[in-house]
Amino acid sequence: MLEQCITNVRAAVPLVHNITNYVTVNDVANILLACGGSPIMSDEPEDVSDITSICGGLNINIGTLNQHSIEAMFVAGRRANELGHPVLLDPVGAGASALRTNTAVKLMEELKLDAIRGNVSEIKTLALGSGTTKGVDADAADAVTDGNLDAMVRFAKDFAAKAGVIVAITGAIDLVADGNTCYVIRNGRPEMGRITGTGCQLSGMMTAFLVANPDNKLEAAAAAVCAMGLAGETGWSHMRPEDGNSTYRNRIIDAISHMDADTLREGAKYEVR
């Protein structure tokens, strides 16, 4: 089932509206093109309603907030809801500041979200009103491990059920859940955490997968997470001694551009709980 999701993305070429942060905007655009989607970036409040109207889905990323972009998020989100477009929230750094936390919570309360994708600290902040972050990175104390996996699967399902969304918690072990089912995914490389923007890229790509797979959104979200982790593994396998972070970032994008259903079927590492 998961492998069909990437085939559907390439067939549909979904147009995704991204209100994302200026640190990673170029990489988000490139990963969307690599997976078979098409990106539009716009965060001007007077522009976003029209832009969202011509797109299939909306990716909201709060990584570099300002009052202008916050207004745009709500305008675009309401329009996407009116049109029945999938909306994904990436609550970057929720818990690190009041503005980030309050904005993410308000977006959850006022918009119909299809998915929330973040690290475990960000998701705990939204679910529990607590949790710690290290800048925009997860705190080590919050990590999903084999030792706490059962509890974290329950947490992911409970939050998904309460919020009415698909929850994707990404880290060393990834969890993608709705209220009934959780995919436990073990693709990826620890070196991916040394590159700015792999999470932002995944949020953009996940939105494209949601748009192209409207009847299987949980599987689509899980497929996107598997694909990104697998790309990290493939990209790392092609690294040479003289290569570094910049090359690795590009190799991940290259791996996505070459990925197909067979690659994902053979390389995805997950269990369903």
Q: Rounded to two decimals, what is the model's pTM?
A: 0.95
Q: How far apart are the first and last CA of the chain?
A: 16
Give pLDDT, residue 46: 98
Domain ranges of the chain: 2-272
Band of residue 140 on the pLDDT scale cut at 50, 70, 90: low
Band of residue 130 on the pLDDT scale cut at 50, 70, 90: very low
Summarised one tens digit per residue, pLDDT across range 10-38 is 999 999 999 999 999 999 999 999 999 99
The residue-averaged pLDDT of 75-95 equals 97
Where helices occur in the chain by DSSP H, the ranges are: 2-12, 25-35, 45-54, 67-83, 98-110, 120-128, 149-163, 198-212, 217-237, 245-258, 261-267
Band of residue 128 on the pLDDT scale cut at 50, 70, 90: confident
Residue with tokens 């745009």: 72
Statement: 2-272 belongs to CATH 3.40.1190.20 = yes
Band of residue 1 on the pLDDT scale cut at 50, 70, 90: confident
The residue-averaged pLDDT of 190-198 equals 93
Is the pLDDT at 66 greater than 80? The verdict is: yes
The residue-averaged pLDDT of 84-106 equals 96
Give pLDDT, residue 129: 67
